[in-house]
Chain A
């Protein structure tokens, strides 16, 4: 056992902290909403600053312009950025896409898209969900039909984060009807503004735009923008979803720790009935419980990280960690709203807003976390069936 970072990882962490001190995250312009996952807002300027450090491609093989650094460097970078509240929203998606392209991308994707990712220019939206295909993803209706050396995509995607400000969409579509239900799907890297694509914002419950819906009306995509083998996109996507659960939530624990410390400072500084709020036994206990919950969450992710690093079997570990991340976040948000009381709903910029008016945003955005990227219900089922070997419920058709 060993619960510390290596000297190299620690040295890198120090370098990241120095960078974040020299480049205060709040100074970077923001392009898209912070949905509370812990990775902050979408800021292309910040991504480009990371690119300037060589950090976006650092873990890629040298043949693809990387430095072949071990995976844990990505964890260290994300953890330090989340602790500092930096806006690296799209980063996990960029890295996953890059890994897929390095793994099974065409020459064109490797030549064109990888360097754009390395430079912090390309970010991606996920075109998975549809109005009638949420948890039942395979019910999707978007189709791609072959036309010479192109594919023509027709369909309707929804809940695609940052779609309007990304450079590419990762569109999941049916490419064959003969195959079994789980086969016959393929993934495409579709440049935004391809003719036939209509990207419309959806205003979220905070009043800002995070999600978009995308109408694809005979969008023509060259065949060399297909990502992964034709008809086997679902298997590729499943790996992606497992990775999505891990990389899309790894930074939640350090981000929650940051919020927890804000609440501790608030409880110390706020006087209630003649004494600090921090002396209230119930408040003390709930804050301390949160600290333990967050510490446990961090270790769940590091354990999954070790399995991924060492090539150990991962059956349920990322799913259980994601559920825990999202529910721990909701619990902390609820505690924050409780502590703030009447001040809680006062928004950023309002007179009298406490803690920058951020706690109500943390609370509201956290509602989406147990839904996005696999609902808590779908994931619990996955833990039980894939992890524990319980029999799957019969399908409804």
Chain B
């Protein structure tokens, strides 16, 4: 039993923390949230120079062949900085789909470009059921054939070159890979309170070719599963990192804000709130690391991942709400950073399966009828 990252992982973490401190200060996050595109290309290119988008991609395809534990540690730092952008969508989840489902030729065409940060891919999974349960997918499509219908809650579609679409084909679910600019595809932004860039993507008689299929037709459910787990873990890491930052900000505030002649952190009411933040962050991180480690060791660890995400969703949101209470009125302002972390945690808790969906996985693993 050992909770410590390896020396190489510690280096990854400290590099990431340094880089994000300099290149992704909270002012930049503020600006990007208010910006219509919400995407900083220069920042994305610098991240690509560090090799981050290729972290999960084997070195033969231009990446660095890292593990999910590496990804989780890096994304935790991204959460700590509240870094906006398509990293988890493209470099974790979409990349995981391509690694699991794409043919050699598709991998050779796409993965080196994804690793270099020159292409961005996103996942179009959810529909009006608003559920990440693949069983809820209704959009019908044959390959070859044409597809008409819509997907919702597609993250970062506006900067994506490729859409990985989960469809219902003959047999069962299938995955197809469509260029985002194919005729008949329209991306319509949804206005969110979270600062996340989410889109409705409509398909109007869009041509789907036989070689757009990712993996065999009808195997979408199993081919997608590892990507859903990787996405859930990465989003959990983002929540843990963001909650860690809320904890640090709140403690700093409690030490410096003076009321009644002493720092508010000298009152037990605030001390006990801060102690609960520590519990929530530490406990979330423990489940996260253990689940990521199991997956990296080749275990599907379905229930572990589900527990990690469900737990962090509750606990990290609690941290965010408690954080507002500790900060008081100032944290109600748009220019104060706290709401950015809160909204990020909120958004991450819903992505790749909310607590309800994750807990259903846990319930089945527990043996509940």
* Chain A residues at the B interface, C-beta cutoff of 8 Å: 1-5, 72, 260, 264, 267-268, 276, 278-279, 284-285, 287-289, 291-293, 295-297, 299-300, 302-303, 305-306, 316-317, 320, 323-324, 377, 379-381, 383-385, 387-394
Whether A288 contacts B359 by the Cβ 8 Å rule is: yes
Given contacts A3-B293, A388-B251, contact A295 B307 (CB under 8 A): yes
Whether A2 contacts B293 by the Cβ 8 Å rule is: yes
| 9 residue pairs bridging A and B, Cβ less than 8 Å apart | A1-B293, A2-B1, A284-B368, A285-B359, A288-B360, A292-B310, A390-B263, A390-B270, A391-B262
Q: B residues within 8 A CB of A289?
A: 310, 314, 359
Alpha-carbon distance A320/B271, docked complex (angstroms): 13
Whether A1 contacts B283 by the Cβ 8 Å rule is: no
Asked whether any CB of chain A lies closer than 8 Å to the CB of B268, the reply is yes
- Residues 290-310 of B, flagged 1 when their CB comes within 8 A of A and 0 if not, give 100110000000001001101
Alpha-carbon distance A377/B251, docked complex (angstroms): 18
> Which residues of chain B from 219 to 261 have a CB within 8 Å of any chain A CB?
251, 254-255
Alpha-carbon distance A42/B254, docked complex (angstroms): 45
Whether A303 contacts B282 by the Cβ 8 Å rule is: yes
Whether A291 contacts B307 by the Cβ 8 Å rule is: yes
Given contacts A276-B369, A284-B363, contact A391 B265 (CB under 8 A): yes
Alpha-carbon distance A5/B1, docked complex (angstroms): 6
Given contacts A320-B275, A320-B279, contact A1 B310 (CB under 8 A): no
Give the contact stretch, choosing among B3-11, B128-136, B332-340.
B3-11
Whether B368 contacts A267 by the Cβ 8 Å rule is: yes
Whether A284 contacts B359 by the Cβ 8 Å rule is: yes
Q: Which of B267, B290, B310, B367 contacts A3 (CB 8 A)?
A: B290
Whether A2 contacts B2 by the Cβ 8 Å rule is: yes
Alpha-carbon distance A123/B268, docked complex (angstroms): 37
CB distance from A371 to the nearest CB of B (A): 16
Whether A302 contacts B367 by the Cβ 8 Å rule is: no
Whether B290 contacts A380 by the Cβ 8 Å rule is: no
Given contacts A390-B251, A390-B271, contact A1 B266 (CB under 8 A): no
Q: B residues within 8 A CB of A323?
A: 275, 279
Whether A1 contacts B368 by the Cβ 8 Å rule is: no
Asked whether any CB of chain A lies closer than 8 Å to the CB of B362, the reply is yes
Alpha-carbon distance A2/B266, docked complex (angstroms): 38
Alpha-carbon distance A377/B268, docked complex (angstroms): 9
In the complex formed, the residue of A with least CB distance to B311 is: A292
Alpha-carbon distance A277/B98, docked complex (angstroms): 41
CB distance from B327 to the nearest CB of A (A): 15
Q: A residues within 8 A CB of B267?
A: 393
Asked whether any CB of chain A lies closer than 8 Å to the CB of B164, the reply is no
Whether B272 contacts A278 by the Cβ 8 Å rule is: no
Alpha-carbon distance A288/B357, docked complex (angstroms): 11
Asked whether any CB of chain A lies closer than 8 Å to the CB of B142, the reply is no
Q: Is the interface of B mostly helix, strand, loop or mixed?
A: helix
CB distance from A275 to the nearest CB of B (A): 9
* Chain B residues at the A interface, C-beta cutoff of 8 Å: 1-6, 69, 251, 254-255, 262-263, 265-268, 270-272, 274-276, 278-279, 282-284, 286-287, 289-290, 293-294, 304, 307-308, 310-311, 314, 356, 359-360, 362-363, 365-369
Whether A299 contacts B283 by the Cβ 8 Å rule is: yes
Q: Which of B5, B255, B366 contacts A1 (CB 8 A)?
A: B5
Q: Which of B271, B290, B308, B369 contacts A385 (CB 8 A)?
A: B271
Whether B307 contacts A292 by the Cβ 8 Å rule is: yes
Q: B residues within 8 A CB of A387?
A: 275, 278
Whether A384 contacts B274 by the Cβ 8 Å rule is: yes
Whether A292 contacts B268 by the Cβ 8 Å rule is: no
Q: Which of B1, B254, B308 contacts A4 (CB 8 A)?
A: B1
Alpha-carbon distance A392/B308, docked complex (angstroms): 34
CB distance from B204 to the nearest CB of A (A): 38
Given contacts A1-B293, A284-B363, contact A390 B266 (CB under 8 A): yes
Given contacts A388-B274, A393-B268, contact A1 B4 (CB under 8 A): yes
Whether B367 contacts A268 by the Cβ 8 Å rule is: yes
Q: A residues within 8 A CB of B262?
A: 391
Given contacts A287-B366, A392-B266, contact A302 B1 (CB under 8 A): yes
Q: A residues within 8 A CB of B283?
A: 296-297, 299-300, 324
Alpha-carbon distance A284/B358, docked complex (angstroms): 12
Q: Which of A276, A293, A380, A389 contacts B275 (CB 8 A)?
A: A380
Of residues A2, A293, A390, which shows the largest number of chain B Cβ atoms within 10 Å of its Cβ? A390
Of residues B251, B270, B283, B290, which shows the largest number of chain A Cβ atoms within 10 Å of its Cβ? B283
Whether B286 contacts A299 by the Cβ 8 Å rule is: yes
Alpha-carbon distance A349/B235, docked complex (angstroms): 49
Alpha-carbon distance A288/B275, docked complex (angstroms): 25
Alpha-carbon distance A296/B365, docked complex (angstroms): 16
Q: B residues within 8 A CB of A293?
A: 311
Whether B368 contacts A268 by the Cβ 8 Å rule is: yes
In the complex formed, the residue of B with least CB distance to A301 is: B286
Apart from the given pairs A288-B359, A306-B4, A390-B254, 10 other A-B contacts in the complex at a CB distance below 8 Å: A3-B289, A285-B363, A291-B307, A292-B287, A296-B311, A299-B283, A299-B290, A303-B3, A381-B275, A390-B266
Alpha-carbon distance A300/B4, docked complex (angstroms): 14
Q: B residues within 8 A CB of A324?
A: 279, 283
Alpha-carbon distance A268/B368, docked complex (angstroms): 6
Q: Which 4 residue pairs are nearest across A and B when measured between Cβ atoms?
A: A299-B286, A384-B271, A390-B265, A383-B275
Whether B3 contacts A295 by the Cβ 8 Å rule is: no
In the complex formed, the residue of A with least CB distance to B284 is: A296
Alpha-carbon distance A270/B314, docked complex (angstroms): 29
Q: A residues within 8 A CB of B284?
A: 296
CB distance from A202 to the nearest CB of B (A): 29
In the complex formed, the residue of A with least CB distance to B304 is: A295
Q: B residues within 8 A CB of A285?
A: 356, 359, 363
